[in-house]
Amino acid sequence: MAVLTSGFATALSGGNELEKILSLAKRAGAEAEVFFTSYEKLPAIFEANRLKQLKANQGTLVALRIIKGGRVGFAITTRLDNRQELVNRAVEVSQFGASARFELPLRQFYPQIEVYDSEINGVTVGQMVELGESLIARLRAHSPELVCDVEVAKETALVQISNTRGGEASYHKSVIDIAIEGILTRGTDMLFVGDEASSCHPIRDVDELACSVINQLELAEKEASVATGYLPVIFTPHGVASAFIPSLALGFNGRIVLEGASPLGNRLAEQVFDPRLSLRDDATIIYQPRSRPCDDEGIPSQRTSLIENGVVKSFLYDLQTAGLANTQSTGNGDRSGGLPAPRVSALVIEPGDIAFEDMVKDLREGLVVEQLMGAEQTNILGGEFGGNVLLGYKVEKGEIVGRVKDTMVSGNVYKVLSELAAIGKETRWIGGMISTPAIFCPKLEVTSKS
Amino acid sequence: MYKGEALGDQMREVLKKYHADYIEVRLEESEATHIQYRGRELENLSKSQSLGGNVRAQVRGGWGFVSFNNVNGMGDKIELAIRQAGLVGKEISRLAPAEPVVDIVRVMTKKNAATVPVVEKKLLLDEYNEIIWSTPQIQTSSITYRDSSKKVIFANSEGSYIEQDKSDLALRITAIAREGEEVQQAGLSVGSNGNFAQIEGLHQQVKETARLAVEMLSAPEVEGGEYTVVLDPVLAGVFAHEAFGHLSESDFVYENEQLREIMVLGRRFGGKHLNIVDGAAIPDLRGSYKYDDEGVPATKTYLIQEGVLVGRLHSRETAAKMKETPTSNARAIGYRYPPIVRMTNTLIEPGSVSFEEMMGEIKTGIYVKNWYGGTTSMEMFTFSAGEAYMIRHGRIAELLRPVVLTGNVFATLENIDAIGNDLGINQGGGCGKGGQYPLPVSNGSPHLRIRHCLVGG
């Protein structure tokens, strides 16, 4: 198959343009910061077991933030040819903007955090297609009826930040991502299985992914039922990500804390969680897709301990929120296409000492939750979660006996995580966003149709 | 506003030079205003501007897709998309026929938000925020406002050339109450096809929202289990969207033999009183337009008529493969994405049961209003209510904490045993699918009563 990738060569550089925008902003009487990103993403998309589409997404974004008369102005464009208009817009909205409670960072030293592997340029579309094909073939060899959607994508990006106080940062990033979703239909019964892997390094084989999905298929082969009531529940890493993380990401957000809307806000240094639970935000792990040498405001990345042995240690801040809260930025200024705001970079839950198998062995009757659907569509600010067990298994006498359906699990993160039965010793990454072991909760509300 | 016009005029001519089974080009220029309050103070007011486009090509049934911000060098982009499609395609390209269209559609929105001065927008939101803050026991508030207007040029190798203006507006107001470690929130979501007047005059609703957040602090949690539930029109609209709408999107079905058997036209899903329709041709709503993103004129499609599956939503490709007619439901949230099959305005049509009759027969049940969200796996769906009350002996009783409802689509539609004689339209929020979020849609319904619905806290 021919090579289509143009790779890094096409990622535009903002270069001089950024300096020109900054000097226009200066002329308008403002301190200013320009954030520039340019990316190219090449996904190969398989639908219903077959290659369906090859894509090339190329894009650029320029975001200008100014401080004029003590107020923040902000404007975004995809065009580099309209500098004066960009500055005019930022100036126009600055009269309504929030009072700036920070100063743009000076030139500084950044930690060496590698998130770009040049070998990604050698990954051809043909190789990406082969990865997808071999993954589908492996799964269909196990379950011939399985209908798979797969996306294999590689992305390269350049980020540049520059401000009128001399602050300057720039880095390249490479990411390969493989996601698989399979449906097995029997009558009107549908079984959903799936997993995902991502890395800044090229991914050369799909062995781990295939094993993970085959394991789901095997555990879900039989059906089992569960009665409404309170049961012990083991959340697998996927389960942890779908049930607990949306609430925790808000609860530790400095902005939510500042507003007094986080249940954790006034519990700094208190024992809120189980003493075995430790959680940190960490953008410094090399070659992890969410890592970076600095945040989107040019503040060096760091490891921030959020929970240490169950004690609330700190919250996550960007520059403005830190200024309002009288503290320092934790390097969590994240843009997501808009004005910087505090957001988690990547969360790491420390492993415990119990093997997953031993947790299951310990269980007389209970559930294993792999995927909770809709869990985040409730009052997550208050810590609540509740959803349909899209993929989960019944445990009887220490053994997984089959998959449950028509079953809901709900609870409150702050109560549930305050007393755990065990924390698993095996950890894994989910979506590049969180590294977590399995978490075993002694008692949760389970509602079932049967 | 832009220099795309000249580019667009040349597109049809240019496309003739290339060899593929099908090629389309889209150019899009958009402007948006974003206003956000977190707490009492305005956090962010910004204006964004974007110019971009894409090329999509089909060769032997395979697709290539290239999106870009730099509109120079269109020829290279078209060639790349064709080359990609050629690497994928191993069959025959099939697209349902669509008459080539040449048309220019200018936006006709009343009081278009794009023309309203920023200061007027801010003053209105200030008023709403102040109402929340003047409510005792309110801890904080959050307001997110966004309006956008865009001009889209579409041309394809079959001779279509369409310029279409689109505008959209979405507002979410959240009141957050707190007592000790207890945090509760209540929200109001509204939207329109860019008409700013539709978000004016919400003062009373904002006040109610703030009051509700406070009341929830002392409300009990529901005891999980199966209940008879009555849905208000707003939540029932979300139910129609999640519980059935997504299952009607043919891209889930067309390549999957087993699903095609399940979703065979003529299958009974509910009682004779059940009628569900979707269509961009229903005017003046967030999901309304004249042409979809493949240039197919808008329609109105019955999905369920008298309880029986009679239709589904199509792109040109899914229609061809299922030997049905395109329904103008191929939509993309923007130029970075290819069009996929999406809903537009999805409605359950009114029935004949009054609210009093519906409630009167319920000894113990739950009345659910408003939405937090909803999601579906096709077979299973969940949706969550922003406001819930116990029903006791036919009357609305005590307020509950927010509840999550879940069900199996193949059973739940049959469990709808009463359809109200009213109708309400929900234009808040947006729909997400295949990484494309938020897509402007609307949904609506009368009050609904559903038996044996699984409810959790």
C-alpha torsion sign, points A228, A230, A233, A239: positive
pLDDT at B18: 93
Share of chain A above pLDDT 70, in %: 96
Structural domains of chain A sorted by starting position, each given as residue range(s) with its CATH number in brackets: 7-212 (3.30.2290.10), 222-450 (no CATH)
Residue B142, phi then psi, degrees to nearest 5: -145, 130
Q: Residue A247 is inside which H or E element, if any?
A: helix A245-251
Interface ipTM? 0.94
Residue A401 token pair: 């006996």
Question: For position A10, what pLDDT does the model report?
Answer: 38
Average pLDDT score over residue span A233-243: 97
pLDDT over threshold 70, residue A450: no
State residue A81's pLDDT score: 81
CB atoms within 10 A of CB B245: 26
Contact: A187, B63; criterion CB under 8 Å: no
With CA atoms as reference, the chain B residue closest to A377 would be B373
Write down the pLDDT at residue A3: 31
Instruction: Please give the DSSP secondary-structure letter assigned to residue A99.
Output: B
Q: Which of B178, B255, B258 is the closest to A260 by Cβ?
A: B178
Q: Rounded to 5 degrees, what are φ and ψ at B305?
A: -125, 125
Identify all chain A residues contacting B338, using CB atoms and an 8 Å cutoff.
53, 55
Distance separating alpha carbons of residues B222 and B220, to the nearest angstrom: 6
Query: What is the rounded distance in angstroms from the CA atom of residue A126 to the CA atom of residue A11?
Result: 21
pLDDT for the residue B194: 96
| B231, two tokens | 């849905």
Q: In Å, how far are A127, A138, A178, B253 from A44, measured between CA atoms?
A: 10, 18, 10, 21
Minimal CA separation from A330 to chain B, in Å: 19
- Cα–Cα nearest to A180, from A17, A270, A3, A46: A46
- Which 3-state string (H, E, C) describes chain B? CCCHHHHHHHHHHHHCCCCCCEEEEEEEEEEEEEEEEECCEEEEEEEEEEEEEEEEEEECCEEEEEEECCCCCHHHHHHHHHHHHHHHCCCCCCCCCCCCCEEEECCCCCCEHHHCCHHHHHHHHHHHHHHHHCCCCEEEEEEEEEEEEEEEEEEECCCCEEEEEEEEEEEEEEEEEEECCEEEEEEEEEEECCEHHHHCCCHHHHHHHHHHHHHHCCCCCCCCEEEEEEECHHHHHHHHHHHHHHHHEHHHCCCCHHHHHHCCCCCECCCCCCCEEECCCCCCCCCCCCECCCCCECCCEEEEECCEECCCECCHHHHHHCCCCCCCCEECCCCCCCCEECCCEEEECCCCECHHHHHHCCCEEEEEEEEEEEEECCCEEEEEEEEEEEEECCEEEEEECCEEEEEEHHHHHHHEEEEECCCEEECCCCEEECCEEEECCEEEECCEEEEEEEEEC
The bridge status of strand A434-448 relative to strand A407-412 is antiparallel
Considering only the beta carbons, identify the residue of B184, B226, B377 that sits closest to A382: B184
Number of residues that make up chain A: 450
Q: In whole angstroms, what separates CA A348 from the centre of its chain? A: 11
Mutation site, A21, A35, A58, A318, interface B, largest B CB count within 10 A: A58
Chain A residue with Cα closest to B40: A259
Name which of B69, B227, B403 to mutate to probe chain A: the one with the most chain A Cβ atoms within 10 A of its Cβ: B69
> For chain A, what is the mean pLDDT?
94
pLDDT score for B54:
97
Q: Which pLDDT score is estimated for A376?
A: 87
B370 in Cβ contact with B235 (< 8 Å): yes
Q: Is A34 left (phi over 0), alpha (psi -120 to 50) or beta?
A: beta
Query: How far is B224 from B221, CA to CA, in rounded Å?
Result: 9
Nearest-CA residue of chain A relative to B77?
A: A56
Name the phi and psi angles at B344, rounded to 5: -125, -90
Q: Give the pLDDT of residue B13.
A: 78
Residue in chain B closest to A94 (alpha carbons) equals B45
CA-wise closest residue to A406 among B385, B403, B380: B380
User: pLDDT grade, residue A5 (50/70/90)?
Assistant: very low
Cis peptide, bond prior to residue B100, ω within 30 of zero: no
Q: Testing the interface with A: which of B3, B26, B80, B84 to mutate, by most A Cβ within 10 A?
A: B84
Name which of B66, B338, B404 is nearest A387 (Cβ-Cβ). B404
**HSE toward the beta carbon, residue A242, CA cutoff 13 A:** 23
Instruction: Give buried/exposed letters for B199-224 (b at 16+ CB in 10 A, else e).
Output: beebeeebbbbbbbbbebbebeebeb
Q: Inspect the interface and report whether the beta carbons of A47 and B255 lie closer than 8 Å.
A: yes
Cβ–Cβ of A386/B49 closer than 8 Å? no
pLDDT of residue B442: 97
Domains in chain B, CATH or no CATH each: 4-216 (3.30.2290.10), 225-456 (no CATH)
Which among A78, A373, A383 has CB closest to B382? A373
Residue for token digits 């340029």?
A: A121
- Work out the end-to-end distance of chain A between its first and last CA atoms, rounded to an integer number of angstroms: 52
Q: pLDDT tens-digit profile of A362-378?
A: 999 999 999 999 888 88
- Which residue from A75, A97, A192 is facing B48, i.e. has the nearest CB? A75
Rounded CA separation B10/A72 (Å): 42
Min Cα–Cα distance to chain B from A77, Å:
5
Work out whether the CA dihedral A295, A297, A303, A304 comes out positive or negative. Answer: negative
Rounded-to-integer distance, Cα A51 and Cα A46, Å: 4
Which of the 8 DSSP states describes residue A202? P
* Residue of B47, B224, B377 with shortest CB distance to A228: B224
More confident site: B4 or A34: A34
- Residue A403: exposed, middle, or buried by beta-carbon count in 10 A (0-12, 13-18, 19+)? buried
pLDDT digits (tens, 9 = 90+) for A387-427: 999 999 999 999 999 999 999 999 999 999 999 999 999 99
Pairwise CA distance, residues A73 & A99, whole Å: 10
> What is the reported pLDDT for A251?
98
pLDDT in tens, chain B (457 residues): 344 456 566 777 788 889 999 999 999 999 999 999 999 989 999 999 999 999 999 999 999 999 999 988 999 999 999 999 999 999 999 999 999 999 999 977 889 999 999 999 999 999 999 999 999 999 999 999 999 999 999 999 999 999 999 999 999 999 999 998 899 999 999 999 999 999 999 999 999 999 999 999 999 999 999 999 999 999 999 999 998 999 999 999 999 888 999 999 999 999 999 999 999 999 999 999 999 999 999 999 999 999 999 999 999 999 999 999 999 999 999 999 999 999 999 999 999 999 999 999 899 999 999 988 889 998 999 999 999 999 999 999 999 999 999 999 889 999 999 999 999 999 998 999 999 999 999 999 999 999 999 998 7
- Residue appearing with tokens 């208190």: A270
Question: Please, are residues B91 and B60 in contact by the beta-carbon 8 Å criterion?
Answer: yes
For residue B186, give how far its alpha carbon lies from the nearest alpha carbon of chain A (Å).
Answer: 9
